[in-house]
């Protein structure tokens, strides 16, 4: 798949800079709700404006966020997340313990907030959403038995679809629109067993042993 020109693959220092619970929350809030001031983020996240202002400057230093041009004043700056996905792994990060620890912290924080959003929809969705929005949401899952190559190809196709959809609607603020999260996970079950390579001397048809729906 062609790389996304807007994607951000931080180096080890950049990864460590993001590995802070409040900084992940700031990225999540800017991604979900759009541009904020430091005081607006403080009110939303239950923090002091001094704390959010400090962490915004650190995130700006490592190119996770940027100031919104032509908006705000010298005392009240507006911030937005830089567009494009953030890739946590890669050379220089995956091969160091510090990089692994930083990635794990960031992923735990992201997962915590994404799970909270799903739980909120499950608990309150039918009470607060209109019938139109309730019909539009989807909470889908499936379990399959595939090879690493098949999973990789499928993940790439889903990632491409999400990226194209997000890019096409980035910044949209039309009547009837609202913040929406697109969540997708495709991963091998860690306590599952990988089927060993077939014995070349075995001429039987392996598909004959697979259960059929």
Per-residue pLDDT tens, the chain, 213 aa: give them. 444 556 778 889 999 999 999 999 999 999 999 999 999 999 999 999 999 999 999 999 999 999 998 886 767 899 999 988 888 877 667 778 999 999 999 999 999 999 999 999 999 999 999 999 999 999 999 999 999 999 999 999 999 999 999 999 988 899 999 999 999 999 999 999 999 998 777 665 555 455 444
pTM of the model: 0.79
DSSP character string of 29-49? HHHHH--EEHHHHHHHHT--H
Domain boundaries, the chain: 12-137
CATH class of 12-137: mainly alpha
Longest Cα separation, the chain: 76
- The DSSP code for 189 is -
Cβ-in-10-Å burial (0-12, 13-18, 19+) of 23 comes to buried
Under 8 Å between Cβ of 110 and 91: no
Position 165 scores a pLDDT of 95
Position 213 scores a pLDDT of 43
């Amino acid at each position: 798949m062609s790389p996304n020109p807007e994607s951000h693959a931080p180096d080890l220092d950049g990864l460590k800079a993001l590995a802070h619970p409040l900084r992940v929350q700031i990225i999540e809030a800017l991604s979900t709700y759009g541009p904020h001031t430091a005081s607006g983020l403080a009110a939303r996240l239950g923090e002091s404006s001094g704390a959010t202002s400090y962490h915004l400057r650190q995130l700006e230093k490592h190119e996770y966020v940027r100031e919104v041009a032509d908006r705000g004043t010298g005392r009240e700056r507006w911030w937005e997340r830089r567009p494009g996905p953030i890739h946590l792994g890669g050379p220089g990060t995956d091969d160091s313990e510090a990089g692994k620890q930083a990635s794990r912290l960031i992923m735990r924080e992201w997962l915590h907030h994404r799970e909270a959003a799903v739980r909120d929809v499950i608990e309150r969705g039918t009470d607060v959403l209109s019938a139109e929005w309730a019909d539009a949401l989807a909470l889908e899952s499936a379990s399959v038995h595939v090879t690493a190559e098949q999973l990789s190809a499928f993940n790439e196709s889903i990632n491409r679809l999400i990226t194209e959809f997000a890019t096409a609607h980035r910044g949209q603020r039309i009547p009837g629109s609202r913040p929406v999260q697109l969540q997708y996970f495709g991963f091998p079950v860690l306590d599952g067993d990988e089927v060993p390579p077939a014995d070349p001397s075995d001429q039987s048809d392996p598909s004959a042993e697979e259960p059929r729906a």
